[in-house]
A = this chain, B = another copy of it.
Amino acid sequence: MDEREGVWIPVRLSAFQVDFLQDNAVTDAPADTRPRPLEGLKVIDLTRALAGPYATLLLAGLGATVIKVEDPRGGDLARENSPYVGRDGVSVERRHEDDLSISHLTRARGKYGVSLNLKHPKAREVFADLARDADIVVENFTSGTADRLGVGYAAAKAANPGIIYCSLSGFGAGVSEGSKAMDVLIQALSGAMYTSGGPDDPPVRIGVPMADMLAPVFGVIGVLAALEQRRRTGQGQQVDVSMLGALTSFVAIENWQAMALAGMEARTGLTVQRLSPFGVFRCADGYVSIVAVHEGLARGLFKAMENEALGEDPRFATRDRRVANAKVLEALIEAWSSQLPTDEVVRRLEAQGVPAAPVRHPAEGLHDPRVLARGETMPITHPAYTRDDGLLTSGVPIQFSEGRTGFDQVLPVAVGQHNATIYRELLGYSDEQVEALAQAGAI
């Protein structure tokens, strides 16, 4: 999608030649005319893969102008992630030249794309020009790489002392990581894999890439906090978040050591017997999550089970007794729930005021109308095709009473898609300069 195909330009970007570009813009700008909270901020996005791009995706969704910088010799590797989407729908392998990796389609939403070969001698100057014009830089190279390429914090600060430079890495800026900062390794090191499952179970690889996702979330908090500090001091700074630290800090909120010291089992699988009845129980066609930790709730559960006598049974008459006899009680609950459809179990529990919810698959969870209505998940389609494969992806899960979130209708389909817009219109390079950089292989 380049200018010829229609790009929605945020009108607050006064540095852009708005009139010219708007003549070619598609007209599906959202009806919500509230500003986005971060409008007016510019982000130079050196990131690739998932952790970094998710940080700049959040900034874009909050209204910042994000300029994604990609190597002209192929761009972000996420462009090669299977599956793809295109004129014929979703496929494991790329079938048409304009098929797009769904990873790229979702993570590059609302971002402008320029090409820049960071190893080219001319790149440092172009990067300095980009940084001079910007508020924020985000990178997630292996620790030390950005400095080596001459696009680290020192270079950005030399061009713009107010710049806020966010580095996401495996173990922290300046901490050697080799090639090891991958989500599945960080999950292993952090202890996160041993938080799920039962006492004798193997570890559990968590299907949500938590390390890849948490580092950028804390990176965004760091960037916004640094903006607040800059308001007082006028100075920028480096913000440095590690995948291991972000995930381990999350794991550390539970009292793992204290529970061990107190002789309490922390890995308890689908249920938690010290809170019994609490956890996930099998139904005829799925599973249900139930919380009945307090007296009234336990009575409600027994009523839903049409077995109110359990409340008088000496094994289950008090909370302490229920905890002491948790296994027996859990077996009784499952003997009941496993005979009924999940929806019916939930209905009967809710009728008694007992908190319960069906365990849904992601596809069903993503379609929850409450979630869709708030833009917490949102549809995504290939920009060139109206074909709707029903794909949903992440939105920005924050509502503002006086602002909106959302993504501009702009996407770097090709590497360097918006070179003209950014290098000419934003940085003021001449046609000859842009041409010379392209000829030299710098962009």
Contact = CB atoms under 8 A, between A and B. Distances in A.
Interface of A: 35, 37-41, 50, 54, 58, 62, 82-83, 85, 89-92, 102-103, 106, 153, 171-173, 175, 178-180, 182, 184-197, 202-210, 213-214, 217-222, 224-229, 231-233, 235, 237-242, 244-246, 248-264, 266-267, 269-270, 274, 278-280, 282, 287-289, 291, 350, 353, 355-366, 368, 370-371, 374, 376-377, 389-403
A185 B258 contact: no
B224 A184 contact: no
Given A225-B398, A252-B366, A262 B360 contact: no
A209 to B, nearest CB: 7
Contact of A102 (B197, B258, B402): B258
Contacts of A50: 253
B207 A394 contact: no
Given A83-B264, A207-B267, A254-B362, A193 B280 contact: yes
B172 A248 contact: no
Contact of A196 (B189, B204, B250, B365): B204
Contact of A257 (B287, B366, B374): B366
Given A241-B398, A242-B376, A255-B393, 4 more contacts: A192-B208, A193-B289, A209-B253, A248-B366
Nearest to A353: B179
From A207, A246, A399, name the one whose CB has the most chain B CB atoms within 10 angstroms. Answer: A207
A363 B191 contact: yes
Contacts of A62: 221, 225
A399 B241 contact: yes
Given A189-B357, A266-B207, A366-B248, A226 B37 contact: yes
A277 to B, nearest CB: 12
- Most chain B CB inside 10 Å of its own CB: which residue of A83, A224, A237: A224
The 6 closest A-B pairs by CB, nearest first: A195-B207, A191-B365, A191-B362, A245-B376, A224-B224, A188-B289
Given A256-B362, A365-B251, A391-B257, A371 B203 contact: no
A186 B357 CA distance: 8
A262 B91 contact: yes
A82 B320 CA distance: 14
Contacts of A191: 360-366
Contacts of A365: 189-192, 248, 251
B195 A208 contact: yes
B251 A355 contact: no
B40 A232 contact: yes
Given A255-B102, A362-B254, A244 B92 contact: no
5 contacts: A62-B221, A180-B356, A180-B357, A194-B360, A224-B228
A389 to B, nearest CB: 6
Nearest to A260: B363
| Max chain B C-beta neighbours (<10 A), residue from A35, A190, A282 | A190
Contacts of A226: 37, 400, 403
Nearest to A175: B370
B253 A185 contact: no
A371 B245 contact: yes
Contacts of A400: 222, 225-226, 229, 237-240
Contact of A251 (B40, B194, B362): B362
Contacts of A394: 249-250, 252-253
B224 A221 contact: yes
Contacts of A263: 92
B355 A182 contact: yes
Nearest to A282: B202
A37 B225 contact: yes
Contacts of A248: 365-366, 368, 371, 376-377, 397
